[in-house]
Amino acid sequence: MSTPTDSPAIGPEDELSADGSLVAGEGVAETEPEQVFPARQTLLKRLADVVCLPETRVNAFERAVTADLLVEMLREAQKGERLRVARRLCKLSEVPHTLVRLLITDEPEIARFLIEDCESLAETDLLFCIRRATPAHLRLMAARKHIGPVVAEALTDTGDIDAIECLLKNRTATLSQGAIETAVSMSQDAPRLVPLLIRRLELRPSSAYVMFWWADAEVRKVILGRFAVNREVMQDSAGDVFAMAAKEGWGDPLSRKALQFIERRQRNREALKKSPFESLEAAIIEAARNGMTRHTAEEISYLSGLKPSTGAKIMRDRGGEGLAVLCKATGLKKTDLRNLWRALRRPGQKDGEVHPDLERVLIVYDTLAVDRAQTVLRYWNWSLSSALTPMMIRAISQGEAMETDALSVPQRAAMLAFAQDLKR
């Protein structure tokens, strides 16, 4: 809707006050007093009354014609007049679409009556508003009761962080998986979204595992406690398939990759046969003595059943909790975790006590079960290596954009995780 000539345009510096009134930003002129036209005000009220009449009093065609006339008047009406009509119509169980679309895209303090209080608004009307909304409209929309997944996804697609924050706080909103994934992606640059996302019931393990890489220590603890699930049901269900795949010589890469995720054994026995080290523990001790080299890091990754890219991601991680996951999943002891910590030149002590970072990581190690740690570690390895294609690797390294809708869940996780490394 074009802004009526009697009222000022809403700029990005304008805000809504607690009661919904518009507070002009710096440099915005005060609104001149509105002129009073008693006949106009009475006519607007009467037309609104006709629109509000029940079906027993007015037929659909007459209501529609009345609404069209009311819309034409409101386009040139003063702000206070539009506000009174919006307040009058917001409680109706059915409001003509022409009126709805005019008023929900009006100034925020007028639009809020319908956005917040009109339960009969259709999703198409809400989407219409989102496409033409100011940031203030988006925040009002995000706080609306009982938002459906389609509207929620449209709100996250706007990229407005404040609106997304309001949406995540809205316990009556239902978020689609697409909305969650968009919010997770944006949380890399908007850390305040992370604790809100972790409390959403719609958050799935795939999104939580990738958000782990930029979450703080408290959120990481929640992720590992809530989403580090076991694979017992999958293992029981696919128990006989391992023998079938072995009989086929593991010739099918599709089933082989899936079975690698399900199997109980984490360490790679074949890698051990080719390794210059006697064991995974021996490789870590060597790194602790002489420092972590690229060759040793790759060997530790291979022996742990990981691709080097996954191992490098874990070892570069600033928080260090990933090291606890790695050690627990591979059956390493706390002594080995300390050696790995020292090999990466991380501080082990502070003021004669165990360094707080190491102490926090040791606690994570103690609280994780082996099978749950393996689930997290294997998902990381699956998404950070097996799911990557040469095209994706090139796009990540060169900062190219990709159509994420065409990517699988682990591929999107890989894109997010490695893109985060490039931002450092």
Q: Quick check: 54 pLDDT over 70?
A: yes
90 or 282, higher pLDDT = 282
Q: Quick check: 153 pLDDT over 50?
A: yes
Q: Is residue 1 part of a domain?
A: no
122-146 mean pLDDT: 94
**pLDDT recorded at residue 235:** 84
pLDDT band at 201 (very low <50, low <70, confident <90, very high): very high
Shared domain check, 336 and 260: yes
Compute CA 77 distance to the chain's CA centroid, rounded to the nearest angstrom.
41
Q: Quick check: 29 pLDDT over 60?
A: no
Question: Is there a contact between 411 and 392 (Cβ–Cβ < 8 Å)?
Answer: yes
Which of helix, strand or coil describes residue 37?
coil
Shared domain check, 248 and 159: no
Q: Is residue 3 part of a domain?
A: no
Rounded-to-integer distance, Cα 169 and Cα 188, Å: 18
Last residue of a domain, one of 215, 250, 281: 215
pLDDT band at 417 (very low <50, low <70, confident <90, very high): low
Shared domain check, 251 and 194: no
Q: Quick check: 73 pLDDT over 90?
A: yes
Shared domain check, 181 and 110: yes
The pair of structure tokens assigned to 375 is 């689930």
DSSP state of 350: E
**pLDDT over 90, % of the chain:** 58
Q: Quick check: 127 pLDDT over 60?
A: yes
Rounded-to-integer distance, Cα 100 and Cα 88, Å: 12
Rounded-to-integer distance, Cα 316 and Cα 346, Å: 11
Rounded-to-integer distance, Cα 43 and Cα 70, Å: 9
Measured on CA atoms in the order 156, 209, 397, 345, is the torsion positive or negative?
A: positive
The pair of structure tokens assigned to 314 is 């874990």
Backbone angles phi and psi of 349, in degrees to 5:
-135, 155
Q: Quick check: 398 pLDDT over 60?
A: no
Question: Is there a contact between 114 and 121 (Cβ–Cβ < 8 Å)?
Answer: yes
Range with lowest mean pLDDT among 145-149, 174-178, 252-256, 332-336: 252-256
**pLDDT recorded at residue 64:** 86
The whole-model pTM stands at 0.77
Last residue of a domain, one of 215, 242, 259: 215
**pLDDT recorded at residue 228:** 87
302 or 418, higher pLDDT = 302
Shared domain check, 88 and 179: yes
Q: Is residue 409 part of a domain?
A: yes
- Please give the mean pLDDT across all residues of the chain: 84
Shared domain check, 193 and 127: yes
Q: Is residue 117 part of a domain?
A: yes
Shared domain check, 279 and 174: no
395-399 mean pLDDT: 48
346-362 mean pLDDT: 94
Shared domain check, 356 and 417: yes
User: How many domains does the chain contain in total?
Assistant: 2
Question: Is there a contact between 152 and 177 (Cβ–Cβ < 8 Å)?
Answer: no
Q: Residue 248's domain spans which residues?
A: 233-423
**pLDDT recorded at residue 256:** 85
230-238 mean pLDDT: 86
Rounded-to-integer distance, Cα 84 and Cα 164, Å: 30
pLDDT band at 2 (very low <50, low <70, confident <90, very high): very low
